[in-house]
């Protein structure tokens, strides 16, 4: 794999970069940038991450980049090797993806039930905007997939946050990050009707949350994750053949 390309930055980028006094800290900015690159596979599995290049891209020093990479290492999204530095973690195996879905099935239905009980008007408004975004994605190109994936991530983050359990929220967020990387790699092997099936499942989840129905929310999330696991198993099997 080649190193990351150096992207041009405005001359005043460093001066305008967020500081701890307002908005995101430099570490948070670096973390979000690297996480986005990893999840969209702009940094491919196993690819080296040159700290100096990332620092120039963002117009900041290398220190916050290193701190952000340490956070990503703790989440097992990158790893560090002697005399090489950081690399993106290797691609997950189909078996690992299956196991992650199994864990999600154990955790997220409970989170959805709690979220249905606790969601406030602001969260419900976000749910409606997520539904509108998913309904608007009808194309199958890369940009359409990216929009759908982001709406999917927003929905699951909202459910995790709505559970009121910080540990559950952090766990779901990390699991979803790993799975999103795998999805980005496998999407060409997905079944033709996978996006439509996922959209219908999301509609049931959102309807249950909007109705503050914990039983329906729990069951709809369980069914969605079980179906997603089956779709992922079939798609990864296609990749291995």
Query: What is residue 168's predicted lDDT score, i.e. its pLDDT?
Result: 93
- Asked if the model's pLDDT at residue 17 lies above 50, the reply is no
What digits encode the pLDDT tens for the residues 83-123?
889 999 998 888 888 899 999 999 999 999 999 999 998 99
Nearest of 167, 168, 125, 126 to residue 150 by alpha carbon: 126
pTM of the model: 0.72
Query: What is residue 186's predicted lDDT score, i.e. its pLDDT?
Result: 67
- Asked if the model's pLDDT at residue 187 lies above 70, the reply is no
Query: What is residue 134's predicted lDDT score, i.e. its pLDDT?
Result: 79
Query: What is residue 190's predicted lDDT score, i.e. its pLDDT?
Result: 52
What digits encode the pLDDT tens for the residues 203-238?
999 999 999 999 999 999 999 999 988 888 887 765
Query: What is residue 14's predicted lDDT score, i.e. its pLDDT?
Result: 34
SS3 letters for the chain? CCCCCCCCCCCCHHHHCCECCECCCHHHHHHHHHHHHHHCCCCCCCCECCHHHHHHHHCCCHHHHHHHHHHHHHCCCEEEECCCEEEECCCCCHHHHHHHHHHHHHHHHHHHHHHHHHCCHHHHHHHHHHHHHHHHCCCCCHHHHHHHHHHHHHHHHHHHHHCCCHHHHHHHHHHHHHHHHHHHHHHHHCCCCHHHHHHHHHHHHHHHHHCCCHHHHHHHHHHHHHHHHHHHHHHHHHHHC
Q: What domains are there in the chain, each with its CATH number?
A: 13-88 (1.10.10.10), 94-240 (1.20.120.530)
């Amino acid at each position: 794999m080649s190193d990351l390309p150096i992207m041009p930055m405005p001359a005043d980028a460093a001066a305008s970069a967020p500081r701890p006094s307002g908005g995101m800290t430099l570490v948070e900015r670096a973390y979000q940038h690297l996480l986005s690159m990893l999840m969209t596979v702009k940094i491919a599995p196993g690819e080296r991450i040159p700290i100096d290049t990332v620092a120039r891209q963002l117009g900041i020093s290398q220190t916050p980049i290193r701190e952000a990479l340490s956070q990503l290492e703790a989440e097992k999204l990158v790893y560090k090797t002697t005399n090489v530095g950081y690399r993106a973690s290797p691609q997950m195996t189909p078996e690992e993806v299956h196991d992650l879905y199994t864990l999600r099935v154990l955790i997220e239905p409970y989170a959805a039930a709690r979220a249905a009980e606790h969601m406030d008007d602001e969260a419900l408004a976000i749910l409606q905007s997520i539904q509108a975004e998913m309904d608007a994605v009808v194309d199958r190109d890369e940009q359409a997939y990216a929009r759908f994936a982001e709406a999917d991530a927003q929905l699951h983050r909202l459910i995790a946050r709505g559970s009121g359990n910080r540990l559950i929220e952090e766990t779901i967020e990390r699991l979803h990050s790993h799975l999103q990387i795998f999805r980005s790699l496998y999407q060409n092997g997905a079944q033709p009707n996978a996006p439509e099936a996922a959209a219908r499942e999301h509609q049931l989840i959102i309807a249950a949350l909007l109705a503050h129905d914990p039983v329906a929310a729990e069951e709809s999330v369980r069914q969605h994750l079980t179906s997603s696991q089956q779709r992922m198993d079939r798609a990864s099997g296609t990749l291995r053949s």
